Amino acid sequence: MTASTPQPRANVGNIPAYVPGKPPVPRADFTTYKLSSNENPYPPLSGVVEAAMGVVGQMNRYPDMGCTALYAALAERFDVPVEDLSAATGSVALIYQILQSFCDPGDEVVYAWRSFEAYPIAVTAAAATSVQVPVTATGEHDLGAMAEAITDKTKVVIVCTPNNPTGPAVTQTALLEFLAKVPSRVLVVVDEAYVEFVRMDDAVDGLAVYRDFDNVVVTRTFSKAYGLANFRVGYAVARAPIAGALRAVSLPFGVSGVAQAAAIASLAAEEQLLQRVDSLVGERDRVLAGVRAAGWEIPEPQGNFVWFTLGDRTGDFAAAADEVGIVVRPFAGEGVRASIGEPEANDRLIDLAGSFPH
């Protein structure tokens, strides 16, 4: 039967909703904090604000569509050819572009679950098929099972390291073992949104992997460590034919001029920014120690967030957090992700972990 109204493709109705981290409700009695979106709690660096302000007066003009200066800065910073780069409005947009340019309807995309909630959204939007491989009890990727999940229909595999929301990162040894098992026709995305926060032995070196493998694309973002979440800018690094495919499907003029300017200034201010990351890692260690001392078994956090496995008490924990003025990100029936924030917010999280029955 022919419908009498315009019908979106069937997959569109199946796209899960993205649940954004809630903002805190302001309270008269004390400051409330947002620990629900893995944002950087620091205000922007002055040089970055000035660089962005310098472009605000040109808002009547389209931005540089070729992101020329940004590509030049990234190419120099990471010693990669400009042809191997693709910038986009956040690395979420890169995931969309990867799926749009590599998947036909029904093609399979393998990734760990639970992992980044944008993956099933992007896969469904591309009319591709999600193959979710459960993370281990300690929130780690089961790379052996992921390799076994690859079929003739698999086009893309996503490795999220560190894994959002559970926290652990993959080792370079494990990633190389995995890549040796993946057919060369399958594109492997290494999502390094939190790479700057990783402090472990044998950490993944995404750029080394990109250099050694024709079928790897590394995605990174200015949203987390660099504190530019609002401006929407991320980049992919891959061999030129792959990066070129991503640029081909990108929205014209997607990355705004302010975002380009702020990203370039952030790379220039990298030392200062990464000192802040060091402080956040120090706070993460403090939270981890406090929470573990309170008796919680939580997965090894390598990003700017920690994960509490709570099952059906997830909502209670999130409500208790609201009570003490910190907003966390509940995943119904599974657990809670809490971002590392201001020291006061982290103190409250540690106190809450101590008082919440577990």
Ligand X SMILES: *Cc1c(COP(=O)(O)O)cnc(C)c1O
Q: Does 325 bind ligand X (CB under 6 A)?
A: no
* Residue 164 binds to ligand X (criterion: CB under 6 A): yes
Choosing from 160, 204, 258, 318, the residue that interacts with ligand X (CB under 6 A) is 160
**Structural tokens at position 189:** 């995305």
Residue 124 engages ligand X in binding (rule: CB under 6 A): no
* Ranges assigned E (strand) in 76-181: 85-88, 108-113, 129-134, 154-160
| SS3 state of residue 76 | helix
Nearer Cβ to ligand X (125/325):
125
How far apart are alpha carbons 255 and 261 in whole angstroms? 10
Q: How far is the CB of 30 from ligand X (least distance, A)?
A: 28
- β-partners of residue 113 are 134
Q: Which residue's C-beta sits nearest to ligand X? A: 90
Is residue 223 close enough to count as binding ligand X by CB under 6 A?
yes
Contact 184, 215 (CB under 8 A): yes
Q: Hey, what are 332's tokens?
A: 């119904």
The β-bridge relationship of strands 335-339 and 305-309 is: antiparallel
Query: Are the C-beta atoms of 204 and 168 separated by less than 8 Å?
Result: no
C-beta closer to ligand X: residue 63 or 234: 234
Q: Is 198 helix (H, G, I), strand (E, B) or coil?
A: coil
226 touching ligand X, by CB under 6 A: no
Residue with Cβ nearer ligand X (116 or 197): 116
- By CB under 6 A, what part of segment 22-51 binds ligand X? 38
CB of 4 to ligand X, least distance (A): 38
Q: Does 217 bind ligand X (CB under 6 A)?
A: no
Span near ligand X by CB under 6 A; candidates 99-107, 126-134, 179-187, 216-224:
216-224
Asked if 140 touches ligand X (CB under 6 A), the answer is no
Counted residue by residue, the chain has a size of 358
| 193 part of the interface to ligand X, by CB under 6 A | yes
Residue 245 is classified by DSSP as H
State both tokens at 235: 């980049």
Restricting to residues 61-90, name those near ligand X by CB under 6 A: 90
User: Please, which residue, 154 or 223, has the CB nearer to ligand X?
Assistant: 223
Determine how β-strand 33-34 pairs with β-strand 326-327: parallel
Does position 166 interact with ligand X (CB under 6 A)? The reply is: no
Angle formed by the axes of helices 68-78 and 257-268, to 10°?
20
Distance CA 207, CA 218 (A): 7
Out of 108, 191, 196, 283, which residue is the one contacting ligand X (CB under 6 A)?
191
Q: Contact 176/161 with Cβ under 8 angstroms?
A: no
Rounded Cα distance, 168 and 170, in Å: 7
If one asks whether residue 229 binds ligand X (CB under 6 A), the answer comes out as yes
Query: In the complex with ligand X, which residue's Cβ is closer, 110 or 325?
Result: 110
Site for ligand X in 86-115 (CB under 6 A): 90-92
Single residue of 24, 120, 234, 330 touching ligand X by CB under 6 A = 234
Torsion of CA 87, 207, 113, 313, to 10 degrees: -90
In the complex, the smallest distance separating the C-beta of residue 335 from ligand X, rounded to whole angstroms, is 16
Binding piece for ligand X, criterion CB under 6 A, among 20-28, 69-77, 200-208, 220-228: 220-228
Contacting residues toward ligand X, per CB under 6 A: 38, 90-92, 116, 160, 164, 191, 193, 221, 223-224, 229, 234
